[in-house]
Amino acid sequence: MIASAVEAELAVMLARFADLRLDDGRQTVVRNDFLPEPRIQTGIGDVSVKVPKLRERNGNGIHFNSTLLPP
């Protein structure tokens, strides 16, 4: 359930930057694999969550940080 919410956050962010394009027409901000899985403590115990990461091809410093997970 946490992973689904994080994926939804990422989808919103990717949609926000969808119009940014490189000179060759490719998107500037794209999904790029996953970060190492953090262990999150919940009321039912520890869970690990796959957190997706972004690649920003122009080096403008665009990063994805979920508001649902600790930094």
Region 1-27: mean pLDDT is 93
Global pTM value: 0.80
Domain boundaries, the chain: 2-56
Cβ neighbours of residue 71 under 8 Å, at least 6 residues apart? 65
Q: State the residue for tokens 């665009």.
A: 62
Tokens of 59: 């080096």
Q: What is the percent of the chain where pLDDT is above 70?
A: 100
Question: How many CB atoms sit inside 10 A of residue 52's CB?
Answer: 19
